[in-house]
Structure 1
Amino acid sequence: MAASDVAVGIIFLSQTVVGALGNSSLLLHYLVLYFTGYRVRHTDLILQHMFVANLLTLLCRGVPQTVAAFGVKDFLSDFGCKLLFYLHRVGRGVSIGSTCLLSVFQAIKISPADSSCSGLKVKSPKYIGFSIYLSWILYLLVNIMIISHMTGKRRNNNITSMKDYGYCSSVHPDKTSQSLYAVLLTFPDALCVGLMLWASSSMVLILHRHKQRMQHVHKTRSLRSSPESRATKTILLLVSTFVFFYTLSCIFQVCVIVIYNPHWLLVKMGAIVAGSFPALSPFLLMSRDSSASRLSLSGIRNRKIPNVRRNV
């Protein structure tokens, strides 16, 4: 086994273990709160689904990549390859959708009372559950096409039209199918990224205007101490990190698709970059406070509401 393979395997293993621990710990935290009847914020439902999607993304790509990097060959059947790639794509898509929904909801929440979004402030919490489940359904349907392209490596070693991913392979589709497949996969992601950029720009503008107004107001709580401001800055950090890694991931994916026989290092680097945001996002949320994120954990009310579940 080459030293480079061992190094790549250690990176995949570290990324998967650390990311899975971070996402599962926060997900477990929310489940405990749910079953003990604490009242938390509306955005917590979005975060719960984000953590589930992140776990799918990390485990369905990180585990087989780690096993393959440490020298285990042809350990997945055709069905296993199709299932893992499909779940990975669904998890990745829902992670994008959750981040988008989180940023849009926060932009609406902190918008001024006289803005065009004022009417959505009351209505938006009612549609959070519908929106997140619609995201799951959308990506479950869109990514069905990947099932026909992915296959195991056991019976396809002599086929020249295969693209090697280390532990699985994909069949080169014809140009028409490839174009349709690329559009179907890219359009929802591009739409989510566009909405995130719009929401982030709106939040930055709102915070800037609010800061200017507060400079002329004395004996008023500063912007830094505002819970809404802290939550907004946390989401801005999350979105900016996502856009950075998503852009890098897209560059690697385009290179892998365009190049007929891409180098194994290019494929591995693309997989590492794709798993970076799911692995880092829970720690970005927790980094806003020494104990836990203000957004995700300090939204809990100090009082316990008996026999009352969260209203989303």
Structure 2
Amino acid sequence: MQDLLKGLIFLLQMKFGVIANGIILVDYLGNIFSGIKKIDFIVCHLTLVNLVSLLSRGIPYSMMRLGVPDVLTDVGCKAVIYTYRVTRALSITSTCSLSVFQLATIAPTVSPWAIFKSLVTKYILYSFVGFWIFHMCANSTIPLTVGAPVNNTIPQRAVHLGFCYAIFLDYIPEIVSTMFTTGIDYLNVTIMTLCSVTMLVLLKRHSQQVRYLQSTTQSVESDTCDGHAV
């Protein structure tokens, strides 16, 4: 009963996530006919990988919790886990790219920001091809370490994931693999944080400049009015 309840709750959460991402994706795809912008492409890519990530992990997990036996075959396990890991990594990278592009959008056109602005706006879309290749290669060992349980039995040195199992590598390769994947995630989060802080600084500086110009304009207008009055 508890597994059934967890499965229904997880299925409901996945449903809301799929609907929300689907609405965003359809809305931005509608802009294609009016000329899609770079930021529209980034958001479309982000919502698409989010959808694939949700479905690839959510559907098998929900079916397993609802009591469906033998949810996936061995090949299915390898494909689903590999797809989930790649799209999850691409989701984080796409979010980071969106932050970088937003920073480039509001960055001033003076040096050295002009160089950064030019490079980002010119190569941001090409970089997504590199992201796909990188993450597909980085997770290429996943199909070798996961599989479907046979008669609810799993190999030694493996952890049960519910509908699949994952085999632990030797100690050193496991540590290197974990440090590499988590390092990439932390790098993306660090870049996003730096971009957010920089955008706040730039917006605050711009706000101060606008206030200064407004106060200067009001002061000049006040002096002009006083001169006419005299």
TM-score (norm 1): 0.65
Cα gap change, 1:158 to 1:40, in 2 (>3 Å)? closer
> After TM superposition, where is structure 1 displaced by more than 4 Å over at least 4 residues in a row?
none
Structure with more contact order per residue of length (Cα contacts < 8 Å, sep ≥ 6):
1
AA matched with 1:26: I
Once residues 158 and 193 of structure 1 are traced to their aligned partners in structure 2, the CA distance between those partners, rounded to angstroms, is 35
Q: What is the aligned partner in structure 1 of residue 7 from structure 2?
A: 9
Q: What is the aligned partner in structure 1 of residue 112 from structure 2?
A: 116
Following TM superposition, by how much is the alpha carbon of 1:215 offset from its aligned partner in structure 2, in angstroms? 2.5
- Are 2:154 and 2:160, in contact at CA under 8 Å, matched by a contact in 1? no
AA matched with 1:24: G
The structure 1 residue matched to 2:138, chosen from 130, 142, 150, is 142
Question: How is 1:123-272 mapped onto 2 (pairs within 5 angstroms)?
Answer: 123-155=119-151, 157=153, 159-218=155-214
Question: How is 1:58-69 mapped onto 2 (pairs within 5 angstroms)?
Answer: 58-69=54-65
- Are 2:25 and 2:48, in contact at CA under 8 Å, matched by a contact in 1? yes
Once residues 61 and 12 of structure 1 are traced to their aligned partners in structure 2, the CA distance between those partners, rounded to angstroms, is 11
Following TM superposition, by how much is the alpha carbon of 1:160 offset from its aligned partner in structure 2, in angstroms? 4.2
1:55 aligns to 2:22 (yes or no): no
Question: How is 1:100-115 mapped onto 2 (pairs within 5 angstroms)?
Answer: 100-115=96-111
Q: What is the aligned partner in structure 2 of residue 23 from structure 1?
A: 21
SS in structure 2 of the partner of residue 76 of structure 1: coil
Unaligned runs of 5+ residues in structure 1 are 220-312
Q: What is the aligned partner in structure 2 of residue 95 from structure 1?
A: 91
Q: Which has the larger radius of gyration?
A: 2
Once residues 43 and 128 of structure 2 are traced to their aligned partners in structure 1, the CA distance between those partners, rounded to angstroms, is 10
Unaligned runs of 5+ residues in structure 2 are 216-230
Q: Which has the higher helix share?
A: 2
The structure 2 residue matched to 1:82, chosen from 78, 82, 85, is 78
Cα gap change, 1:115 to 1:203, in 2 (>3 Å)? farther
Across the aligned residues of Structure 1 and Structure 2, the Cα RMSD in angstroms comes to: 2.0
Aligned residues: 216
- Are 1:77 and 1:154, in contact at CA under 8 Å, matched by a contact in 2? no
SS in structure 1 of the partner of residue 213 of structure 2: coil
